[in-house]
Structure 1
Amino acid sequence: MSNAPRTPRPVDHLVLPTADLDVARARLEQLGFVVAPLGKHPFGTENVCVFFGDDSFLELLAVGQRETCEAEARNGNVFVARDQAYRFRNGNEGFSALVMGTQDAGADHDAFVQAGISAGSKLSFSRPFRTPDGREDVAGFRLAFAADLRAPDAFFFTCERVNTPKVDRTALQIHENTAVALREVVLSEVNPTDFQYPLQEVINQRDVNAHSFGMDLRSANANVTVLTPQGLRSFFGVEASETERGLRLQAFVLAVRDLVAVESLLSKNNIPFDKRGSRLIVHKAPGQGAAIAFEAS
């Protein structure tokens, strides 16, 4: 690793595979999120997204055109191929990718190749973007992929926003649950520090805080935490295998303006939750492939 100073990348978004976007939308709305209109990729997948005021977002991803996806995967589309591999191994609901923001996906790809963690060819594409009131623009992206062969159920990429849609997203960022920002992304692994090096490269962060339950790395806008199964159980009430190796994306933490309002909303909608310290944790359900923790901003 170079000893030159590094500027950590921000978390751009999280990829959460789902079987049915209608089910995912209904679940997210029950949790108090505003969900953006359907988006379609040119390679067969489609999504709905939840946007936050810190410029991060959740991407709920489904297979729209299976034959197109399969053809794209055969032709080297890493995004689609990794989504298909994840679904084959884990089913159609889950948390498959951590995506970091970047200003230069091409340079990231070269860095990932040099570091020995490239997951394949870069990907450039664009798709229409539509707000709830019908205004449209085109969003463009360049992606650079990273992965570790020891962790087949998690992958990473950087996302360069080539053309940011010239539409006002304010209405998409005002959620009934008062969520304002992504605060933490949580992974699990039996021995977290075995994956210190690839995560340092993906996040572009040299400093690591190792502790008895795992390790933390600070991105530009959120913590990336890898916990042992014991740590995951203690902090989030989520079970993970004590013997299976490899990184797995498990949960994320959102900052909210009013935690009391979140508790009231969840109770009103009959959504079970756990109180752990200063957090309210909602566990996985159809349409929600990861545990979500809410904490006061």
Structure 2
Amino acid sequence: MLETRHRVCLGRGFMARALDHFVLGVADLDAAGARFAAMGFTVGARNKHPWGTENRIIQFADQTFFELITVGDASAIPPHAPRHFSFGAFVRDALAKKTGLSMLVLKSADAKADTAEFARLGIGDFEPFHFARKGKRPDGSEVEVAFSLAFAAEPAMPDCAFFVCQQHFPQNFWSGSAQQHTNGATGVRRVTIVAENPSDHHIFLSAFVGERAMRSTSFGIEIAAGQGIIEIISPEGFRFRYGTKAPAAPSPTFAGLEIATTKLEGMHVKGFETHAGGLTAPADHDFATALRFVPVGGVAV
């Protein structure tokens, strides 16, 4: 692919943000858990949020994670309000359109400061959101976990949500045993957004990540986010990378995730397709996000 590099002016400097987690909407949380377990992932226990959603977590050694999520109690979901982003309402509304990835989350060292920064840059004017819940370790013991979130928004991407997450008790959240997967998955290397005109979104993406340097390719743009990459590419670029058709959508949409694994040669999962040195699990109705497995340290197309 042809590529060029350019920089975006963000004003005063601040630290670039790394990939944190990926909110994956599913209609049936237990069925989704079974599906991911069949792909070789270690799937955590069910957790409940006070705003009506329920999740199960899949952790990785690179300190990222998947959040499988569904609506548990629709009556508990608060509506969106001025300067208040309703997590539950977005999950509910996104699931009404499609399953799969709908929210991209980066790490935050200070959610309050990030809230102010997003407002200054014109990509968000929401109040920070804090919550705590009980979590379960692999041995079944309960621990407290707590998070503060700062939301950003790109009006041209109404079906994609973006926020950063500050963990207050990370020692209670991360678990070495939960990060061991029989498929050898070690982390998320790339998240892919499909758009007809990828470069239209470069200013927002740079501001959200906090990274000025960006790479332009034949198919779109990409930016480093910690150890991973966020890319916005055309439907043709998506087919080139994942070996499967891009989703049809009226606006930009999250379409794929690239996962690094130490056991690519030993993976034999029904429905997976070999493509460009990796394996792709194509999107379908029950999970409308393609998953591409690539070798750790391998060269991506």
Could you state the TM-score of these two structures normalised by the residue count of structure 2?
0.89
Matched residue, 2:91: 83
Structure 1 residue 120: deviation in Å? 2.7
Whole-angstrom distance in 2 between the partners of 1:282 and 1:59: 18
Identify the range of structure 1 (195-204 vs 283-292) with the bigger mean alpha-carbon deviation: 283-292
Matched residue, 2:187: 181
Structure 1 residue 216: deviation in Å? 0.9
**Alignment RMSD, CA only?**
1.9
Matched residue, 1:219: 225
Matched, 1:256 2:261: yes
Matched, 1:19 2:27: yes
Question: Is 1:99–1:158's contact at 8 Å kept on the other side of the alignment?
Answer: yes
Matched residue, 2:291: 292
Matched, 1:96 2:94: no
Whole-angstrom distance in 1 between the partners of 2:127 and 2:216: 33
Matched residue, 2:5: none
* Residue identity in the other structure for 2:264: L
Q: 1:147 to 1:294 in 2, by over 3 A?
A: same
Where structure 2 has 5 or more consecutive residues not aligned to the other structure, the ranges are 1-8, 297-301
Whole-angstrom distance in 2 between the partners of 1:288 and 1:85: 16
Structure 1 residue 235: deviation in Å? 1.5
* DSSP 3-state at the match of 2:16: coil
Q: Percent identity?
A: 29
* DSSP 3-state at the match of 2:238: helix
- Picking from 103, 106, 123, the partner of 2:129 is 123
Matched residue, 1:46: 54
* DSSP 3-state at the match of 1:55: coil
Whole-angstrom distance in 1 between the partners of 2:277 and 2:12: 38
Structure 1 residue 114: deviation in Å? 1.6
* Residue identity in the other structure for 1:257: T
Structure 1 residue 289: deviation in Å? 3.6
- Picking from 106, 112, 116, the partner of 2:118 is 112
Q: 1:100 to 1:172 in 2, by over 3 A?
A: same
Where structure 1 has 5 or more consecutive residues not aligned to the other structure, the ranges are none
Moved over 6 A (4+): none
Question: Is 2:195–2:234's contact at 8 Å kept on the other side of the alignment?
Answer: yes
Could you state the TM-score of these two structures normalised by the residue count of structure 1?
0.91
Whole-angstrom distance in 2 between the partners of 1:131 and 1:159: 20
- Picking from 235, 240, 247, the partner of 1:234 is 240
Whole-angstrom distance in 2 between the partners of 1:87 and 1:261: 33
Q: What are the residue-to-residue correspondences of 1:166-205 with 2, within 5 Å?
A: 166=172, 169-205=175-211
Q: 1:287 to 1:164 in 2, by over 3 A?
A: farther
Whole-angstrom distance in 2 between the partners of 1:168 and 1:192: 34
Structure 1 residue 294: deviation in Å? 0.6
